[in-house]
Amino acid sequence: MTDLRVGLIGYGAAGAFFHAPLITATPGLRLSAVVTGNPGRAAEVREKYGVPAVGDASELWDSSDLIVIASPNRTHVPLAAEALKAGLPVVVDKPLAATAEEARGLVRLARDRDLMLTVFQNRRWDGDFLTIRRLLSAGELGTVTRLESRFDRWRPTPKGGWREVGGADEVGGLLYDLGSHLVDQALRLLGPVTEVYAELDVRRPGVTADDDAFVALTHASGARSHLWAGALTPRLGPRFRVLGSRAGYVKYGLDVQEERLRAGLGPDSPGFGEEPQDRWGTLGTDDDNRPVPTEPGAYREFYGAVTASLREGAPPPVDPEEVVGCLTVLEAARRSATERLVVSLS
> For residue 346, what pLDDT is reported?
82
DSSP state of 190: H
Asked if the model's pLDDT at residue 84 lies above 80, the reply is yes
Cite the DSSP H helix spans in 39-161.
39-49, 76-85, 100-112, 127-137
Beta carbons of 97 and 331 less than 8 angstroms apart: no
**pLDDT at residue 254, rounded to an integer:** 97
Q: Report the alpha-carbon distance of residue 183 to residue 155 in Å, rounded.
A: 22
Q: Is the pLDDT of residue 124 over 80?
A: yes
Question: 233 falls in which pLDDT band (50, 70, 90)?
Answer: very high
Is pLDDT above 90 for 204?
yes
pLDDT tens sequence across 30-59: 999 999 999 999 999 999 999 999 999 999
* pLDDT over 80 at 167, yes or no: no
Q: What confidence category does residue 298 fall into, taking pLDDT thresholds of 50, 70 and 90?
A: very high
pLDDT digits (tens, 9 = 90+) for 308-344: 999 999 999 999 999 999 999 999 999 999 999 999 9
Q: How many CB atoms lie within 10 A of CB 267?
A: 21
Instruction: State residue 297's pLDDT score.
Output: 98
Confidence of residue 169 (pLDDT cuts 50, 70, 90): confident
Query: Quick one: what percent of the chain has pLDDT higher than 90?
Result: 98
**Which pLDDT band, with edges at 50, 70 and 90, does 214 fall under?**
very high
CA distance 190 to 145: 9
Q: Provide the pLDDT for residue 17.
A: 97
Q: Give the helix ranges, DSSP H, for 238-298.
A: 256-262
> Band of the pLDDT at 166, cuts 50, 70, 90?
confident
Please, what are the domains in the chain?
4-120 (3.40.50.720), 124-300+329-344 (3.30.360.10)
pLDDT in tens, 90-120: 999 999 999 999 999 999 999 999 999 999 9
Amino acid at 167: G
* Residue-level pLDDT at 56: 96
CA distance 52 to 36: 10
CA-CA distances (angstroms) from residue 231 to 74, 177, 202?
A: 22, 12, 10
Average pLDDT over residues 114-136: 98
Q: What is the dihedral sign for C-alpha 326, 327, 328, 334?
A: positive
Length of the chain counted residue by residue: 346
Q: pLDDT (tens digit, 9 = 90+) per residue, 178-191? A: 999 999 999 999 99
| Closest of 217, 52, 209 to residue 144, by C-alpha | 217
Q: Round the average pLDDT of the chain to a whole number and report it.
A: 97
Rg (CA), the chain: 20
